[in-house]
Amino acid sequence: MRNAGKIRAAGAIAVALALAGCQGIGGPPPRAGGPIAGTPPPSNGFNGDWMSTDGVAISRFTNGYFETLATDTGNKLAEGSYTQTGPGAVSISVTSLIRQTTTQVNCAMVTQTQLNCTSSAGAQFSLVKRAAGVS
């Protein structure tokens, strides 16, 4: 049963992080005088670490890719990709590395620090953005 909780949490985190990463993908083009070549892009609000509300897993979103890690072991539980479907909305394709299944998840950013998500099976969960530098 403990693994079932981790799997659910991993899926939720993965979805939330996916949403976070997509928000910045469709942004405006860079302005003249922008960042120097080779420097990382600015944070877009979705990129970063998002934790499941039960604290079991962390999902890391980076430029259309995400992975979900167990907080107790650091093991990768899920990975996938995400696509922004509208303002503050994202669709995530989550592949569970434990179950070897792929699930679609849709998320909405309800605040700058919270994502509310629903899986294709109807499961609902939320992810909370972690502050930078928090381990």
Spatial neighbors of 70 by CB under 8 A, at least 6 apart, are: 6, 10, 56, 57, 77
Residue range 2-24+46-129 forms a domain whose CATH class is mainly beta
Distances (CA, A) of 38 to 35, 41, 63, 77: 8, 9, 15, 31
Spell out the alpha helix ranges (H) of the chain. 2-23
3-state SS assignment for residue 18: helix
Q: Contact, 58 vs 51, CB < 8 A?
A: yes
Q: What is the pLDDT of residue 48?
A: 82
Sequence-distant (6+) residues with CB within 8 A of 85 are 22, 91, 106
* Buried-state track 8-26, b at ≥16 Cβ within 10 A, e below 16: bbbbbbbbbbbbbbbbbee
φ, ψ of residue 131 to 5 degrees: the values are -65, 145
Question: How does pLDDT run across 5-44, given as a tens digit for each residue?
Answer: 554 544 444 443 333 333 333 333 333 333 333 433 334 5
Domain boundaries, given as residue ranges, for the chain: 2-24+46-129
% of residues, the chain, pLDDT over 90: 47
Q: Which residue has the tokens 């997509």?
A: 22
Q: How far apart (Å, rounded) are the C-alpha atoms in residues 89 and 71? A: 26
**CA 67/CA 71 separation, integer angstroms:** 12
User: Tell me, what's the pLDDT at 133?
Assistant: 57
- Res. 73 pLDDT band, cuts 50 70 90: very high
